[in-house]
Structure 1
């Protein structure tokens, strides 16, 4: 079998699915891995492996069996110590095993950004029980945000405005922890004007930035995103400088989703993911090269343009509202009549608030695109059995 590269993809959700499509267009052979069968990326990959990414022995066995050119994590909950061992043995981990280890846990990447690199962050402390949560909240002040150091797509995050809300926030964070680390970060609530994702591509030719993406969250999970978002040149320059500092320190090649809070001209580092970002789904219609195309190019050592431009566009999520083993969809034609596009992720099961698809729209400006994307998302109905 001929191919340009063999990629072992760790995590096979909707972001992994789009990455597989981009990598396949460049001639790659992709083995998609996840803890459950028929995950979205598996449906378009060349091969699949079903196992928990936290099972270090299984992770090593699969890597040694397939001998990939690149190991590409798509989720946080991975036994990163094994990735470090594999990298030492000659495997290429994207963007690096160190990056995977640091960003798997919010505490490690926050400490790197605030303490080692001197980036502007909010006040924060960590806690592993309710008493420590209360002490941390005394340090940060109220309101504060409490979230697990390891979770998926913002799960387990809540804002605490009164002392009596602390126990419920701890319970919610504890219930939504990923992996085996019972720890939360308690951070000062930032009264920001808006928050952005700055997609930052580190590649063999240097560092390239996409235009900033604005987004709105509920329950700690993204609901809609739009690009480009209005931002002063000075604020963009600050965000780019901080993003370049942290991705250069992490090393390796790939696309990073770097999140910031913006208050006036002040830019505050929030989080970083060393992979395509859910808010970057908007790039499927806003950019000629999507975030997944850019990630694939950077990973495979192919050229990435110095400048990326975006037309006004928006994304809006399509959510499930119940548990079901079977999901069907209707309303796609009505949703697409106004020019919007719909992407169904084809997840085999649903649960409340699970992201099942996304509506994408362009417009003369981002407000128009946002309205069109939201309208299209509302017209898609999910049916359960």
Structure 2
């Protein structure tokens, strides 16, 4: 990866965001941040914002969310309900809104921007990235990024036609969902009806009676998957070292950095990441929004070494938890700086682990229906160069990520093994 900051035709910061008063979060002159979504990623973001002197209100759909436990104030509401979200914004009067989840009434974000509130990265980007149809059209048909063959469908009949066009096996996803919800693989035409039903059950829609459109994609011969964390700030766009990952049912389970691929592949990955973020930030600038923040750009590496764009999250990414161990500034610190208008340089994203070392993370997923208690942490962290984050979520219903194990080691395999050992050493009790 070249050590070059990619500069966009930037708007002057003074034209799109007020100067932020930091360092006095309980005083009269303060920067007020409203977090929409207060999970484990939001908790780390809130910590970094508070370290820089911002005041933070953490909102989520349930009591005791991770970020709500440490923020200055917290609220509970249905963020997909326009009236509730509008009332919250009116109450808090934030300077900056940071969406940390996708289940948000995005039309209210546009209203907030019109009222002079900064939305991160922007209201336009939030609306595009939560809609797979809009995002795929932008990435492939407007920007020319390589993707899997795809079709969109608004009915079972259209899904059948789309699947026949892209071929079997194929992947079916609701155009609005996250973390693998509603996603399935159809191996034959006989699977399509159940895939359609799965997509309707797993989709996110404003109206429960609303039919969700789906995207049907050709099944790609994957060698691996990458996340390239890409940062847009007042200084331009920079990228982090690519992150390797393992998923189950579309949801993150492990990640590691660096990935150890050929430099040519890594360079192309970073170029694709910059290209999609450039496109999104350009749209933000057209609407007088800064487009600042961290983007998690997801890419497929095929068996022949070629790369395909998959998706992009306009926020820190689950796989980026590994940056707590690996980088000078974690993805959360980078996001906080970018959001506040602080310039982020390529040097800020550099790896700080010794050369020839790999950092790894592993999600701690708990199954059951109860409160979760961890013990044995002293044994789990008895090995050098290991760490742990327990998210403090109040309970689990079904399965839920409740923590992350972190390590560094000379090789990817050794680093992953150390995180597995942390997981196996923990005692997890359901009450």
TM-score range, shorter chain: over 0.9
2:94 aligns with 68
SS across alignment from 2:367: coil
Does the alignment pair 1:184 with 2:214? yes
Which residue in the other structure is 2:22 paired with?
A: none
Distance in structure 2 (CA, Å) of the matches to 1:285 and 1:171:
41
Superposed displacement of residue 241, structure 1: 2.0
1:245 is displaced (CA, Å) by: 2.0
Work out whether 1:146 is the aligned partner of 2:191. no
Paired with 1:362 and 1:105, the residues of 2 have a C-alpha distance of 36
Tell me the distance in 2 between the aligned counterparts of 1:379 and 1:142: 42
- For residue 219 of structure 1, report the CA deviation from its aligned partner: 1.2
How far residue 4 of structure 1 moved from its aligned partner, in angstroms, is 5.2
Match of 2:309 in 1: 269
Q: How does 1:124-139 map to 2 (within 5 A)?
A: 124-139=150-165
Residue 13 of structure 1: how far off its partner (Å): 0.8
Q: Which residue number in structure 1 is paired with residue 15 of structure 2?
A: none
Contact 2:60-2:77 at 8 Å conserved across structures: yes
Pairing 1:215–2:245 present: yes
Q: How does 1:160-171 map to 2 (within 5 A)?
A: 160-171=186-197
TM-score, structure 1 as length reference: 0.96
Q: Which residue of 2 aligns with 1:371?
A: 417
3-state SS in 2 of match to 1:152: coil
Q: Does residue 195 of the first structure (1) align with residue 235 of the second (2)?
A: no
Structure 2 contact 239–274 (Cα < 8 Å) conserved: no
Q: Pick one of 54, 58, 76 that aligns with 2:84.
A: 58
1:115 aligned residue: 141
Structure 2 CA distance for aligned equivalents of residues 25 and 151 of structure 1:
32
Partner of 2:390: 344
- 1:97-142 CA distance string (max 9 Å, x none): 1000000111111111011111111111122333332222111111
Aligned length: 384
Q: Distance in 2 between matches of 1:67 and 1:158?
A: 41
Q: Look up the match of 1:335.
A: 380
Contact residue 32 and residue 45 of structure 1 kept, 8 A: yes
Match of 2:274 among 238, 244, 250: 244
Further displaced range: 375-384 or 297-306: 375-384
Cα shift at 1:361: 0.7
Identify which range, 210-219 or 122-131, moves more after superposition: 122-131
CA distance in 2, matches of 1:332, 1:160: 42
Structure 1: gaps (5+ residues)? none
Q: Greater CA deviation, 121-130 or 106-115?
A: 121-130
The alignment partner of 2:38 has SS state of: coil
Preserved CA contact (<8 Å) 1:320 1:351: no
Question: C-alpha separation between the residues in 1 aligned to 2:364 and 2:388?
Answer: 9
**Distance (Å, rounded) in 1 between the aligned partners of 2:368 and 2:324:** 28
Separation (CA, whole Å) in 2 of partners of 1:236 and 1:4: 41
Supply the distance in 1 between the matched residues of 2:374 and 2:191 (Cα, whole angstroms).
38
Q: 1:299 aligns with which of 332, 339, 344?
A: 339
Return the match for 2:261 from 218, 231, 235: 231
Partner-residue secondary structure (3-state), 1:353:
strand
Please say if residues 359 and 409 of structure 2, whose CA atoms lie closer than 8 Å, have aligned partners that are also in contact. yes
Contact 2:230/2:297, CA 8 A, preserved across alignment: yes
Q: CA deviation at 1:164?
A: 2.6
- Conserved? CA contact 1:4–1:26, under 8 Å: no
Q: Which residue of 2 aligns with 1:257?
A: 296
User: Structure 1 CA distance, aligned partners of 2:242 and 2:119?
Assistant: 27
Cα shift readout 1:15-73 (whole Å, capped 9, x = no counterpart): 10111111111111111011111111100111111111111112112112212111100
> Is the contact between residue 318 and residue 380 of structure 1 (CA under 8 Å) also seen in structure 2?
no
Q: Distance in 2 between matches of 1:321 and 1:132?
A: 36
Distance 1:4 1:65 in 2: 16
Query: Which moves more between the two structures, 126-135 or 292-301?
Result: 126-135
The reply on whether 1:383 has 2:409 as its aligned counterpart is no
Cα distance in structure 1, aligned partners of 2:248 and 2:56: 33
Moved more, 231-240 or 278-287: 231-240
Partner of 1:159: 185
- Point out 4+ residue stretches in structure 1 off by more than 6 angstroms: none
SS of residue in 2 equivalent to 1:292: helix
Post-superposition CA distance 1:258-297 (Å, at most 9, x none): 0000124311100000000001111111112100000000
The TM-score normalised by the length of structure 2 is 0.86
Aligned counterpart, 1:318: 364
- Gap runs ≥5 in structure 2: 1-25, 282-290
